[in-house]
């Protein structure tokens, strides 16, 4: 077995367009266990063959074991033998109710790894065939579909603009151990690997040995099943990419689902498109029951129903036939801004929360007139719905709440619209209309706004 050759095989599977970019860094997630140890040894040989890459062994110090410091020293000593640079990154594992230590440690570990990488860099992990079987069994336990059962790929995109490779994925655990023994490779032994309170250890110690005793090739056959699931999922993903745009639009700066378009699809595709849309926005995939509840409320609830569905990281709302998916955060209401002079607005613009800013400019005969000396200028973020308004292109006035509906501004977004006021009177609903009574004449400087 030639591990350097296995690494090269993965590199060769990367898209050729990526190889034309600047030399990338190969980062090995290096625990010091037997799996990552033989991969580190193989990487040292590969590095001599392929000097165009930068190389880094990265050991994440979780601080969960009394032996953590000793493990870090071991990794640094081994890296010196391999003539590869090694970094030790200390992280804090924050535990929370109903969050496993495994999941919390994995999260901070990958955050530490990605922090050391740039676009097009390659992360290498030492997962092998038995790890794949564990992942598949855990996916079955969680009730996941084809995407979850695809488990781990040998080569796959990672963190949007990077790559993740697993050169040992087709190797058995016994082959890994035999390689380490043959080449006299020393490694650490994490005592937590024997604690069966962790799901992976329970599978590793009690379940998989029994399965292998009955079916010796189960790890290999399960890996083939994962590959088939991955192949089928890739077909679904390709079809998803063509169908998603047909149900999506932009409203108030948000990517929304047009519910009438979604309703045209079969129940199965409705569920897939909903998941695809949420994944595209970066939200956690909903469970089967959650998907059914979301679709039922979005598509079947009465037209005047107030839809407000909260999941772990998203709140889902409905407005004017569209489904909105908003990040679940505690937002602080925007406060009224008192403007000392128009120059202040021209120089600094108007902050509309953490993400949006409105810029102001002067132009002859365009926008609203400048304030008079006796007019106090404020930026409001909420006026009574009964406020009488007359947009610049209207012959009649209308209540503010009616105009919000007419301009299709969702109720939760109205308090984020900056309202320019002179002496408390509405002058401009920035981004929507200027008040007719405050328009500047053709011969005077006017104030206009553009969103950033």
Residue 187: predicted pLDDT: 93
Architecture of domain 252-327: 2-Layer Sandwich (3.30)
Q: Check residues 133 and 17 and name the one with the higher pLDDT.
A: 133
Cα 80 vs. chain centroid, distance in angstroms? Answer: 36
- Give the model's confidence band at 359: pLDDT under 50 very low, under 70 low, under 90 confident, else very high: confident
Sequence spans of domains, the chain: 3-214, 252-327, 337-451
pLDDT for 393 equals: 87
Which has the minimum average pLDDT: 69-73, 99-103, 223-227, 390-394?
99-103
Q: Are 104 and 95 in contact (CB under 8 A)?
A: yes
Name the band, by pLDDT with cuts 50, 70 and 90, for residue 21: low
* Local structure of 320: helix, strand or coil: coil
In this structure, are strands 155-158 and 162-165 parallel, antiparallel, or unpaired?
A: antiparallel
Distance, in Å, from the CA atom of 81 to the CA atom of 401, rounded to the nearest integer, reads 72
Angle, vertex CA 247, rays to CA 244 and CA 248, nearest 5:
85
439 pLDDT more than 80: yes
* The two three-digit tokens of residue 318, written as one number: 């409905």
Percent of the chain at pLDDT exceeding 90: 63
Q: Where are the beta strands (DSSP E) in 286-436?
A: 308-310, 314-319, 322-327, 337-339, 350-351, 357-364, 368-369, 377-380, 388-389, 398-399, 419-422, 425-429, 433-434
Please write the tens of the pLDDT for every residue from 147-195. 889 989 999 998 888 999 999 999 999 999 999 999 999 999 888 888 8
For residue range 273-284, list pLDDT tens digits in order: 999 999 999 898
pLDDT in tens, 76-97: 999 999 999 999 999 988 877 7
For residues 187 and 184, give the distance between their C-alpha atoms in angstroms, rounded to a whole number.
10
Is the confidence at residue 268, as pLDDT, over 60?
A: yes
**Mean pLDDT score of the chain, rounded to an integer?**
90
**Cα(first)–Cα(last) distance of the chain, in Å?**
57
Class of domain 3-214: alpha beta
pLDDT tops 80 at residue 451 = no
Q: How confident is the model at residue 104 (pLDDT cuts 50, 70, 90)?
A: confident
Q: For the whole model, what pTM was predicted?
A: 0.75
**Residues contacting 184, CB < 8 A, separation 6+:** none
Query: Six-digit token pair at 364?
Result: 């002859």
Higher pLDDT, 22 or 6: 6
Label residues 392-414 b or e (16+ Cβ within 10 Å = b). eeeeeeeebbebbeeeebbeebb
Q: Per-residue pLDDT tens for 307-327?
A: 899 998 899 999 989 999 998
Say what the pLDDT of residue 194 is: 83
- Give the contacts of 348 (CB within 8 A, at least 6 positions apart): none
pLDDT given for residue 154 in this prediction: 92
- pLDDT at residue number 75: 95
Q: Which pLDDT score is estimated for 259? A: 95
pLDDT category of residue 197 using cuts at 50, 70 and 90? confident
pLDDT band, residue 64 (cuts 50/70/90): confident
Mean pLDDT across 62-68: 87
Confidence band for 65, pLDDT divided at 50, 70 and 90: confident
**pLDDT for res 106:** 87
pLDDT at 350: 80
- Whether the per-residue pLDDT at 208 is higher than 60: the answer is yes
Q: pLDDT band for position 354 (50/70/90)?
A: low
Closest CA to 115 of 60, 36, 68: 60
């Amino acid at each position: 077995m030639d591990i350097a050759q296995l690494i090269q095989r993965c590199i060769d599977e990367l898209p050729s367009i990526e190889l034309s970019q600047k030399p990338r860094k190969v980062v090995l997630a290096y625990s010091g266990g037997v799996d990552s140890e033989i991969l580190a040894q193989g990487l040292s040989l590969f590095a001599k063959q392929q000097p165009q890459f930068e190389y880094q062994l990265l050991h994440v110090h979780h601080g969960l074991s009394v032996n953590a410091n000793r493990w870090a020293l071991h990794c640094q000593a081994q890296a010196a033998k391999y003539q590869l640079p090694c970094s030790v990154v200390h992280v804090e594992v924050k535990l929370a109710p109903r969050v496993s230590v495994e999941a919390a440690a994995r999260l901070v570990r990958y955050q530490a790894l990605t922090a050391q990488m740039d676009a097009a860099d390659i992360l290498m992990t030492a997962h092998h065939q038995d790890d794949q079987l564990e992942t598949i069994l855990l996916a079955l336990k969680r009730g996941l579909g084809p995407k979850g059962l695809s488990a781990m790929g040998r080569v796959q995109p990672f963190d949007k603009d990077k790559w993740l490779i697993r050169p040992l994925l087709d190797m058995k655990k016994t082959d890994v151990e035999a390689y380490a023994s043959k080449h006299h490779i020393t490694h650490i032994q994490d005592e937590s690997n024997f604690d069966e309170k962790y799901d992976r250890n329970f599978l590793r110690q009690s379940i998989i040995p029994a399965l292998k005793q009955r079916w010796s090739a189960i790890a290999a056959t399960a890996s083939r099943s994962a590959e088939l699931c991955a192949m089928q999922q890739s077909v679904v993903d390709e079809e998803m990419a063509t169908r998603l745009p047909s149900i999506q639009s932009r409203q108030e700066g948000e990517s929304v689902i047009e519910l009438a378009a979604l309703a045209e699809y079969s129940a199965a595709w409705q569920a897939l498109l909903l998941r695809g849309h949420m994944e595209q926005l970066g939200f956690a995939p909903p469970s089967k029951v959650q998907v059914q509840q979301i679709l039922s409320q979005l598509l079947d609830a009465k037209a005047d129903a107030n839809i407000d569905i909260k999941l772990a990281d998203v709140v889902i709302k409905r407005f004017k036939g569209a489904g909105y998916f908003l990040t679940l955060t505690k937002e602080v209401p925007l406060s009224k801004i008192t403007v000392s002079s128009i120059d202040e607005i021209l120089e600094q613009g108007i902050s509309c929360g953490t993400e949006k800013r409105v810029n102001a400019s002067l132009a002859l005969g365009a926008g609203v007139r400048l304030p008079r000396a006796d007019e106090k200028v404020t930026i409001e973020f909420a006026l009574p719905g009964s406020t009488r308004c007359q947009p610049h292109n209207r012959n009649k006035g209308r209540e503010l709440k009616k105009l919000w509906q007419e301009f299709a501004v969702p109720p939760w977004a109205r308090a984020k619209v900056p309202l320019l006021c002179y002496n408390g009177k509405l002058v401009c609903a920035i981004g929507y209309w200027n008040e007719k009574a405050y328009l500047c004449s053709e011969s005077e400087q006017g104030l206009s706004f553009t969103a950033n």
